[in-house]
Amino acid sequence: MKLKTIHPDVWIGGVLIVLSVIFYVMAGQFSNPDAAMWPKAILIGIIILSAMVTVHGLKLTQPKTTQSQILPRGLAGPFFALLAIVLYAVLMNFTGYFVSTAIFLPLGMFFLGQRNWKAILGVTVGLELFVYVLFVVQLQLRMP
């Protein structure tokens, strides 16, 4: 079976299973075993659901398909989203929550198809104000 004929769900499910196993091992290294209980339970659920996605993708994989380039086209969106989230997290370490969110949210909305600049600006400012009032003013937490 060629890699181009494998359904994208197989790839996505496989990557999620591998990542979940890595995070499960990392959760097992917590100093407090009680603190690792909830992450481990969530990761087991993710592994089960990812296995279901993989099995579904295997059923959809056809050995004699005429479609070409299934892998890049089918995985471009999820990999772009993963890359954007990683860049957001890295940017947050350098600029803080409010600046990185003010950059990430409008760009994400634009790439997802929102073209109304009033809606983009309104959601961005509204979310920033809501988070600031709730977490910084009311709960007196320091945002990263």
What radius of gyration, in Å, describes the C-alpha atoms of the chain?
20
pLDDT at position 71: 46
The dihedral over CA atoms of 110, 111, 115, 120, expressed in degrees to the nearest 10, equals -20
pLDDT less than 70: residues of the chain: 1-4, 62-75
CA angle centred on 136, ends 132 and 102, rounded to 5°: 30
Cα–Cα dist 15/50, whole Å: 9
- Residue 33, SS3? coil
pLDDT at position 17: 94
pLDDT at position 63: 63
